Amino acid sequence: MTQTAKPETGAFSPRDLDHQPPAFTPGYKTSILRSPQRNLVSFENTVSEITGPTFGHQMLGELDNDLILNYAAPGESAIGERLIVHGRVLDEQGRPVPNVLVEFWQANAGGRYRHKKDAYLAALDPNFGGCGRTISAEDGSYNFRTVKPGPYPWPNGANDWRPAHIHFSVFGHGFAQRLITQMYFEGDPHIALCPIVQTIPDETAIDALVARLDMDNTIPMDIRAYRFDIVLRGRRSTLFENRLEGN
């Protein structure tokens, strides 16, 4: 029987805004309408932010972390380069964050999503749904099987393409520790060309979004592996004079 660890409570560390992309970046067209019109204001964490949902393995289906099979017909499987994606969910101090829900979704091997508004000309794969979920273990580890998504064009510029990527949503131990992000694959030339990636001012932040080929965890004659560690806000309060600021 899986034991659910008691979530740690307390204020989460503030985000480093210099590490994050600015909200207003005209090269990424949708940011023009979405960016705030006034300066941001920091508030101390509330109880509702430092506590949050808890999840157990009993909520998972047998194939929730297997995108190769979880939408496929019996005896069939998704088309594409077979991959294992694995890593650890960590806080800012490098400590494991166990029992958190990790959700993921992606385009198929041709770069098309199973979504009624996706009008890209690439074919749909009848055996690929493109989404799944898992829960991190006591050591913060997670893993799932999938196929490598394809790049696809998007109407940001005249000829802009998104790099191959997988979306992640992670529920930490409090709502303020929620993270939604994207994982890219090392060696993809589209990463440097992507207008979204170009909004990130910190090269180390971009590097942290890139999964590394992990030959030690491949299965010979079967499937390759990529490692992607996910870092959430940790419990590290920043003091400003005699009060907490930015938490």
Which residues are marked as active site? 113, 152, 162, 165, 167
Strand partners, 175: none
